Structure 1
Amino acid sequence: MIGSTNHRIEMIGLFEASTDSRLLTRSCGNCSLHASHRSPIEEIKKVPITKRQILCLIALAYGNFCVAACVSLQAPFFPAECDIKGVSSLVYGLIFGIYELVILVASPIFGKMFAYVTPNFFLEAGLFLAGGTTVLFGILDKLSGPFEFTLFAFILRIFEGAGAAAFLTSCYTIMPLEFPEHISFLFALLETFFGLGLIVGPTVGGALFELGGYIMPFATLGSLMLLGSLVSIILLPKSGDYTQSKSPSVFSFLCDAGTLLDVLTIAGCLNLIGFNAATLEHHLRQFSLTPTEIGSIFIITGSVYALTNPLWGKLGEYKFDARWMAIIGTAINIVGLLFMGPVDFLPIQPKLWLVIVSLIIVGVGMAAKQVSAYIACLNDTINRRGYPNETSTYALVSAVNFSSCSAGAFVGPTVGGYLLGTIGYRGSTQVILGFEMLTLLLHIIYKIYGPKPSI
């Protein structure tokens, strides 16, 4: 599971489109995914964005920002709180990871339900549920016993994950329907807002923790997410005119080598994020940093991810091969992982500046991988595999995308917490490095021997 701005959308003009023209845009195949219907000049032509689309973008971007901020805010101080309560690193790794496991299971279920209930409803309800549970998470420090603390932490993270799954699956179903001419760039732009949330979450979370104690960051950012539910109700356009049909089988959808490779690529991105969320704070303790300083370290990858996402998205919009983009991004990640610990077989001692540089490198690589995998999966699904260009297909791709994110984000902190307690942070990074090297090898093999991209 996992998708996020310092960049603005370039708009040539604003106009109000009629209902009939919106329906035509959604129901026909003449969108950016169907190059066979467009001339090379038309493919790179700037298409004006309507007022309806701007309001929709504001709602989707705000929701992505809030979800990311709330899921990441506890990274600088929650592990230390668990230590105080007597909760092991393996258990608090599972507390981080259960959120993603719920998204992994719930996203395909919600995607199938879009044939009967509008994505708007799930988006608004998801923000409300996730925001409410985030606020409640702020009172966990009142529970003195490790069992009670762990039990209620798991319960709240489960419900928060269900809310996030409803929002994210809905968001990336609505996005290609509302922006058929800007799918690549708008995906990257929403990921930029998600990245900004990853920046603000631990930074503001650490500062608010120092200012007002454990409850302050959860109450503040949780309330902002509850506000996001109201914002979505006001700004999102009515979704009754979306073309809807029964969603195809997830199992049959996954029976494709290219799709499975995209799933592996997406999972790898969130695997690394989740791994660091559960383990990096422990690694940074040797540098005697304050909670605010640790929070600042945590924002580095998210900052770079947010800044570079639109650049990769623009490359995708101008038909840069998504498979090559994934290869480049994976190679960049490998370089960052070599020096983040650094790995044991390098004769280098851990240094704070080396951690910072490695996090910057990893942020660039993750942005390339995330954008490339989503675009490759969507293009292949419609152009190569012949799925219909409608809501059910977008919902299916979105559900699989966020299930993949969540699979990686669940494995990352869960396995990371176990590895941290057994072989330490430096040894743990070698396991993640091995996964990235395997992913790179599979991408190269698929690029050489797999089907050629549609033109």
Structure 2
Amino acid sequence: MNDNNMDSDQVQQTDGMTLEESTSGPNQRITRYQILTLISMASVNFSSMICYSILGPFFPNEIVQIGAKVMLISGLFVSSGCTILFGLLDRVPEGATFITLCFIVRSVDAVGFSAAMTSSFAISAKVFPNNIATVLGSLEIFTGLGMILGPPIGGWLYQSFGYEVPFIALGCFLFLMVPFNMYILPSFAADPTKDSFFRLFTHLKIVLICFAIFTLSSGLGLLDATLSIYAIDKFDLSPGYVGLLLLGLSLPYCLASPLLGIVSDRFPSTRPWLMVLGGLSTATGFWFLGPVPILQIQSQLWLLVFMLVVIGFSLGMIAIPTFPEILNCAYENGFEEGLSTLGLVSGLFGAVWSIGMFCGPTLGGFTTQQLSFEWAASVQGGLAFLA
């Protein structure tokens, strides 16, 4: 009996050593355990992001048929309902039922979110045709505020009231936005167009700008998935300080976006230069974020924070000029001026952004696991340099 217990303990210790070695040994071959984990995580990211990106080709046409206002309000309504339902999923039995319902709710939520965001970009560009970059840059302030205030408010609601309340509160807030927007938002007429979503990809300039958008979102996805773990392991930071660390990325982006939008609108010829300089600065930021192992520079907290500030500002230099630049390129190549083309460009932007948000965490997480965060950031810097 004692021998059996001893054998069992030895087996457990051996399994524990195997698991630890398979995840911590950087020079060992990839194991079956790691392959299956990677496949699982990739499937989650893929299924989540394809729900957003797959809508790009046909949602612009829906804007023309049912109207941008109706699509925006419908998207808010669907997203609000799904957010409330997601907060109630803790009452569902564990196992396959829970996983299936989570996937269904988040997929439907993705449809609503994509509808709202696609029509939001199109409406903004329609109402402010001569100040697109300025308006989008100003709106990024509120995007950043949502990202900054979301974690502390959600954490406080969770600690005070439990799992359900944060989602129910957010869902109710989104639901209140439905009658609010129905009342204040005017209707927009649009004529059907023969232009195709895929016709945009026949122009090299648009393809290159899309690659810049891809590097932007993939970089944010990489940092979202790996930065907090790296900061905790490397500098022994608490989760609260990690949240403050992330402000170094989002705050410069929010503050710089309106200024960059004004410059982009007043001096349209500067847009390509802004994207080029933004790409070079972003590449430098990622290379020194680790820093690159071949430089043999010791990682320090002040350097990490400073590079996050550089990346945040540089991402604004890339992001803000892209939408008006794609739009101008479309008009120069015969696309009709109007809401239909605005919807096509908005859908394209959202689709490429979602693809980057899928590839960034997936490939970056794989590189981090097999090599290190420093190498993952270096690869991302290389992509930004190419853009």
Q: Same fold (TM over 0.5)?
A: yes
What is residue 253 of structure 1 aligned with on the other side?
A: 200
What is residue 283 of structure 2 aligned with on the other side?
A: 334
1:264 pairs, out of 198, 208, 211, with: 211
C-alpha separation in 1, matches of 2:59 and 2:44: 23
Alpha-carbon distance change, 90 to 213 in structure 1, aligned in 2, over 3 angstroms: farther
1:281 pairs, out of 211, 228, 245, with: 228
What is the CA distance between 1:148 and its match in structure 2?
5.3
Could you tell me whether the CA contact under 8 Å between 1:199 and 1:300 is conserved in 2?
A: no
What is residue 49 of structure 2 aligned with on the other side?
A: 100
Higher CA-based Rg: 2
Alpha-carbon distance change, 258 to 186 in structure 1, aligned in 2, over 3 angstroms: same
What is the CA distance between 1:385 and its match in structure 2?
1.1
What is the CA distance between 1:96 and its match in structure 2?
5.0
What is the CA distance between 1:97 and its match in structure 2?
5.4
- Counterpart mapping for 1:127-146 below 5 A: 127-140=76-89
Alpha-carbon distance change, 247 to 130 in structure 1, aligned in 2, over 3 angstroms: farther
What is residue 379 of structure 2 aligned with on the other side?
A: 431
Match of 1:114, SS state, is helix
Match of 1:115, SS state, is helix
CA offsets per residue over residues 260-296 of structure 1, 9 Å max, x none?
0111111111111112222222212224444433333
Alpha-carbon distance change, 215 to 323 in structure 1, aligned in 2, over 3 angstroms: same
CA offsets per residue over residues 326-352 of structure 1, 9 Å max, x none?
001111111210122233223234433
Which TM-score applies when normalising by structure 1?
0.71
What is residue 296 of structure 2 aligned with on the other side?
A: 347
User: Which letter does structure 2 place at the counterpart of 1:345?
Assistant: I
1:402 pairs, out of 344, 350, 355, with: 350
What is the CA distance between 1:324 and its match in structure 2?
0.6
What is the CA distance between 1:427 and its match in structure 2?
2.1
Unaligned stretches of 5+ residues in structure 1? 1-86, 440-455
User: Which letter does structure 2 place at the counterpart of 1:248?
Assistant: D
User: Which letter does structure 2 place at the counterpart of 1:245?
Assistant: P
Matched, 1:317 2:257: no
- Counterpart mapping for 1:186-205 below 5 A: 186-205=135-154
Could you tell me whether the CA contact under 8 Å between 1:106 and 1:162 is conserved in 2?
A: yes
C-alpha separation in 2, matches of 1:103 and 1:227: 24
Matched, 1:420 2:371: no
C-alpha separation in 1, matches of 2:385 and 2:99: 35
What is the CA distance between 1:218 and its match in structure 2?
2.8
Match of 2:136, SS state, is helix
1:217 pairs, out of 151, 163, 166, with: 166
C-alpha separation in 2, matches of 1:352 and 1:215: 36
Could you tell me whether the CA contact under 8 Å between 2:140 and 2:254 is conserved in 1?
A: yes
Could you tell me whether the CA contact under 8 Å between 1:126 and 1:163 is conserved in 2?
A: yes
Alpha-carbon distance change, 125 to 435 in structure 1, aligned in 2, over 3 angstroms: same
2:106 pairs, out of 157, 168, 179, with: 157
Alpha-carbon distance change, 133 to 300 in structure 1, aligned in 2, over 3 angstroms: farther
Match of 2:193, SS state, is coil
Could you tell me whether the CA contact under 8 Å between 1:208 and 1:217 is conserved in 2?
A: yes
Could you tell me whether the CA contact under 8 Å between 1:200 and 1:299 is conserved in 2?
A: no
What is residue 35 of structure 1 aligned with on the other side?
A: none
Could you tell me whether the CA contact under 8 Å between 2:133 and 2:321 is conserved in 1?
A: no
What is residue 20 of structure 2 aligned with on the other side?
A: none
Could you tell me whether the CA contact under 8 Å between 2:131 and 2:265 is conserved in 1?
A: yes
User: Which letter does structure 1 place at the counterpart of 2:81?
Assistant: G
Match of 1:244, SS state, is coil
C-alpha separation in 1, matches of 2:362 and 2:102: 15
Could you tell me whether the CA contact under 8 Å between 2:283 and 2:380 is conserved in 1?
A: no
Alpha-carbon distance change, 298 to 237 in structure 1, aligned in 2, over 3 angstroms: same
C-alpha separation in 1, matches of 2:246 and 2:97: 28
2:191 pairs, out of 213, 237, 244, with: 244
CA offsets per residue over residues 72-125 of structure 1, 9 Å max, x none?
xxxxxxxxxxxxxxx957645654554332221112211011221101111111
Which TM-score applies when normalising by structure 2?
0.82
- Counterpart mapping for 1:53-68 below 5 A: none
What is the CA distance between 1:147 and its match in structure 2?
5.3
What is residue 390 of structure 1 aligned with on the other side?
A: 338
C-alpha separation in 2, matches of 1:92 and 1:133: 23
CA offsets per residue over residues 16-61 of structure 1, 9 Å max, x none?
xxxxxxxxxxxxxxxxxxxxxxxxxxxxxxxxxxxxxxxxxxxxxx
Unaligned stretches of 5+ residues in structure 2? 1-35
Match of 2:64, SS state, is coil
What is residue 166 of structure 1 aligned with on the other side?
A: 115
Count of paired positions: 350
Match of 1:226, SS state, is helix
Alpha-carbon distance change, 343 to 368 in structure 1, aligned in 2, over 3 angstroms: same
C-alpha separation in 2, matches of 1:92 and 1:218: 24
Could you tell me whether the CA contact under 8 Å between 1:203 and 1:299 is conserved in 2?
A: no
